[in-house]
Structure 1
């Protein structure tokens, strides 16, 4: 294929920062998860006790992997494998859409199509690039397991399962890029498929059958509808089954083949899912730039708000399973009590889930700012700025909507927490104080991610999307997994979500609230001041 090598090199160069960040981040999470498990569940008796409790409270399996025994390697993957697969999935789907549908919308694909490369060569280069990225991620993840002294065979199966699941979602991203007209719609559909298949695998495990010793679970048939389930069925460090890994790879290759078939029968710039027809005249509510920003981000805000609602419900409705778990496993009780600063187990659960909520709210805000960058690269921002709207006002609208998104996500979680308490046989309404304080603290924490991403947008526009999401990923690892992995306090406190205010037995612990508010104020002021002096940077 003429030009294949040049196009592949171009894709490798464009993603020279994104792919290493995703791959190294996944491998680092794998490494630290083993270290954390060794510290928190150092004895086989602790691991057996936790697995037995999980079998009695299956709802926990919605957020974890497939139990395959109490050996340290198998137990570690029970806790972390779905999250490793999710990182591989996001890397692969974003890569696929970025180099297919996004290139069509920006006009790059049309320029390439005018050369001797042909209509399928760019897609082939993207598929090869995705394969290379997945192989790098699998290799680094395997090396992370080997570095902690786990067996070679299990390490290879675990690394390959993560990479092969990423290949499956590479195919998903390529197909979505064929079906939908815009990269935003293709990315949104890919993300929802990732989350849906993650949930399906969790439900399939929750409906499974445990062994008599309560150390292993045989999943229900639902897991075979999800790449997450296929990766978990390889059971690294237990069965070391290679055929589920092969299944992931084959399905991924089949989806890549489907993308080629769809590409060969559609026109450049067209799609199989038609866009919704617009109104002949705009509504009066769209008379301002702010209203336009709201309209562009409505779907994303609704999606993240639903996630916040579910998180809030889980934060208060899981008190009974947590009580049973802590009663049989003192290490779990110690972790929850530490997180609540000496408070009750229910308060510890609120802290854990609302820390997750801070990540969701930050993701919502980052996505809105990334939309501003997309509008700039696509040239549509120039149309708005041709009206009497200055650059600072235009970006300020996105910052305001992003902050409103944070508030909406947290407010949805508060409503969910209220519903969760109401669903209990013996509701403890005093938990709402913890919910409100912790939720308010996460608003400040997520706002830090917002202003940092906005500042990156002003100073280094090309890095807005990769660096914005990378910062959220680092914040999640430090703030959410740091206590589990035994990170020192100073390192955990680098994450805004780790220093957000919480309730303690003595009242409200403000922690780093004033630093968070100062960072938000300085970041917002610097962003809007510098934006007045920046020209549009439409090159992607």
Structure 2
């Protein structure tokens, strides 16, 4: 197999920063979750009460794992395993597309195919690279759990189970890269498969059968159509089942085999899903660069808006659930106090979920700016800039559409929250004011991510995509989990979503608003001013 070792070494070198970041981040999330659980749910009675609440209110299971008992290890797995598996899945899917379809678009794959390596060896090297990346993630996650004092078998089941889900999505990414002729389309398919299967797993758990003591749930059949469901049914620190891992590995092998067969039957650069032919004459509205940016990015924005609507519905639906849990469980009340500055329980639910919404909105804005980098790298920005459109106006179009996407995501959540309130038996319409305040605050917070990513695009264009998404991930960890993990306030408030205006028991806290607005104004102005003199940066 000529060139396999060299191609594998090239992939390892290229991802020498990205893969360790994913793997170490996953292990740190497991470690920090243990710290939070040990502080907030240190007694078996606390854990049993929360598990009973989850079993009695299935909506909680949409965002958590599969309850397997009140043992501390099993409880940590219930809280965190879906997120460990999700990180492995994102890492693997992006890795697969980056080294397959991402190599074909600029023409590098065609050059390699003209060597003795041929067309199949690079794909096999990518598969081996994906397996090694997930093995590193599994080992680091397992070692983090062992360091917490958990039993070795359960720790390894948790680490390998998360990596096994990652392998399935490695296969998904490989097949998506064969199906679509652009890395953008392949990545979009991978993300949608991930989100849909994650939701199916949550719904399957919510429809499952709880035990008599409400400490364990047996999944319904719907869970078994999702790789996340297979991973969760390993039940680390409870059953330590190995066969779901074998199932994941088998499905991953089948998907990889399908990708190899498809690779051998298509032309280089082509995909099995044809691109939709464009109009002979563009609509008059596309004469402006702003309209062109919207045309290029609206499908992704619509997806984030749907996520915003669902978040808004669940925020108001879950408010009563958290209220019931906190009335019987002091540790839940303590968590709400830490996150919501002593507001009411219903306000706490709104603040928590709209903080999550700030991450969704930020991801929408960052994705739009990343599209600007993709257009530049693929050479399609150059024809636009060769016309009467200058660089500043071109970038301003992406920033403006990114901001519009943020506003639309938040607006979708407000609509969802209103609909959720309307379906409650006794709706508290005063919560709608809290929704508007927290939602408006998250517009400012998400806009900080937008302008910082735009500034990175101008100053260091090749770092736009990895650094933009890394900032979103750090903002999520600090803003959503920082208070639970006991991080100091100054560190938590480095995340814009944690510094956004919010509601408290005393009214509205606007302390962070002015800093966020200042950061947005300065970041936008700096990125546009510096763009005036920047040359185009091709892919590299």
Name the TM-score, length of structure 1 as normaliser.
0.98
Offset at residue 422 of structure 1 (A):
0.9
After TM superposition, list the pairs within 5 Å mapping 1:250-289 onto structure 2. Answer: 250-289=250-289
Q: Which residue of 2 aligns with 1:306?
A: 306
C-alpha distance after superposition, 1:195-238 (max 9, x if no partner): 11101111111111111221111111111111101111111111
Q: Which residue of 2 aligns with 1:25?
A: 25
Unaligned runs of 5+ in 2: none
Offset at residue 495 of structure 1 (A):
0.7
Q: Which residue of 2 aligns with 1:473?
A: 473
SS, match of residue 503 in structure 2: strand
130-139 vs 329-338, which moves further: 329-338
Does residue 1:368 correspond to 2:381, yes or no? Answer: no
Q: Is the contact between residue 338 and residue 483 of structure 2 (CA under 8 Å) also seen in structure 1? A: no
Does residue 1:110 correspond to 2:88, yes or no? Answer: no
Offset at residue 312 of structure 1 (A):
0.8
SS, match of residue 105 in structure 2: helix
Q: Is the contact between residue 211 and residue 217 of structure 1 (CA under 8 Å) also seen in structure 2? A: yes
C-alpha distance after superposition, 1:42-78 (max 9, x if no partner): 1011001111111111111011000011111110110
Offset at residue 317 of structure 1 (A):
1.8
Offset at residue 410 of structure 1 (A):
0.5
After TM superposition, list the pairs within 5 Å mapping 1:201-212 onto structure 2. Answer: 201-212=201-212
Q: Which residue of 2 aligns with 1:159?
A: 159
SS, match of residue 483 in structure 1: coil
Q: Which residue of 2 aligns with 1:456?
A: 456
Shift >4 Å, 4+ stretches: none
Q: Which residue of 2 aligns with 1:527?
A: 527
After TM superposition, list the pairs within 5 Å mapping 1:146-225 onto structure 2. Answer: 146-225=146-225
SS, match of residue 388 in structure 2: coil
After TM superposition, list the pairs within 5 Å mapping 1:321-360 onto structure 2. Answer: 321-360=321-360
C-alpha distance after superposition, 1:120-170 (max 9, x if no partner): 111111111111111111111111101111111111111000111100100
Offset at residue 319 of structure 1 (A):
2.4
Offset at residue 452 of structure 1 (A):
1.1
Q: Which residue of 2 aligns with 1:97?
A: 97
Q: Is the contact between residue 53 and residue 328 of structure 1 (CA under 8 Å) also seen in structure 2? A: no
C-alpha distance after superposition, 1:489-508 (max 9, x if no partner): 12111111111110122221
SS, match of residue 537 in structure 2: coil
CA distance in 2: counterparts of 1:219 and 1:102, whole angstroms: 38
209-218 vs 152-161, which moves further: 209-218
CA distance in 1: counterparts of 2:459 and 2:14, whole angstroms: 19
Offset at residue 485 of structure 1 (A):
1.8
Q: Is the contact between residue 313 and residue 417 of structure 1 (CA under 8 Å) also seen in structure 2? A: yes
509-518 vs 57-66, which moves further: 509-518
CA distance in 2: counterparts of 1:116 and 1:292, whole angstroms: 42
Q: Which residue of 2 aligns with 1:318?
A: 318
SS, match of residue 480 in structure 1: helix
CA distance in 2: counterparts of 1:9 and 1:464, whole angstroms: 24
After TM superposition, list the pairs within 5 Å mapping 1:384-533 onto structure 2. Answer: 384-533=384-533
SS, match of residue 66 in structure 1: coil
CA distance in 2: counterparts of 1:191 and 1:103, whole angstroms: 19
Q: Which residue of 2 aligns with 1:539?
A: 539
Pairwise CA RMSD? 1.1
Offset at residue 175 of structure 1 (A):
0.4
Q: Is the contact between residue 179 and residue 186 of structure 1 (CA under 8 Å) also seen in structure 2? A: yes
Q: Is the contact between residue 8 and residue 128 of structure 2 (CA under 8 Å) also seen in structure 1? A: yes
CA distance in 2: counterparts of 1:333 and 1:491, whole angstroms: 23
Q: Which residue of 2 aligns with 1:86?
A: 86
CA distance in 1: counterparts of 2:94 and 2:48, whole angstroms: 38
Offset at residue 322 of structure 1 (A):
1.9
Does residue 1:56 correspond to 2:50, yes or no? Answer: no
CA distance in 2: counterparts of 1:43 and 1:430, whole angstroms: 36
CA distance in 2: counterparts of 1:250 and 1:34, whole angstroms: 31
Q: Is the contact between residue 135 and residue 163 of structure 1 (CA under 8 Å) also seen in structure 2? A: yes
Offset at residue 338 of structure 1 (A):
3.9
CA distance in 2: counterparts of 1:242 and 1:433, whole angstroms: 49
Unaligned runs of 5+ in 1: none
CA distance in 2: counterparts of 1:9 and 1:38, whole angstroms: 41
After TM superposition, list the pairs within 5 Å mapping 1:220-235 onto structure 2. Answer: 220-235=220-235
Q: Is the contact between residue 181 and residue 270 of structure 1 (CA under 8 Å) also seen in structure 2? A: yes
Offset at residue 335 of structure 1 (A):
2.0
C-alpha distance after superposition, 1:427-472 (max 9, x if no partner): 1111111111101111111111111111111111111111111111
Offset at residue 528 of structure 1 (A):
1.0
CA distance in 2: counterparts of 1:362 and 1:435, whole angstroms: 18
CA distance in 2: counterparts of 1:452 and 1:203, whole angstroms: 36
SS, match of residue 534 in structure 1: coil
Offset at residue 357 of structure 1 (A):
0.3
Q: Work out the number of aligned pairs and report it.
A: 540
Q: Is the contact between residue 319 and residue 350 of structure 2 (CA under 8 Å) also seen in structure 1? A: no
SS, match of residue 450 in structure 1: helix
Offset at residue 251 of structure 1 (A):
1.0
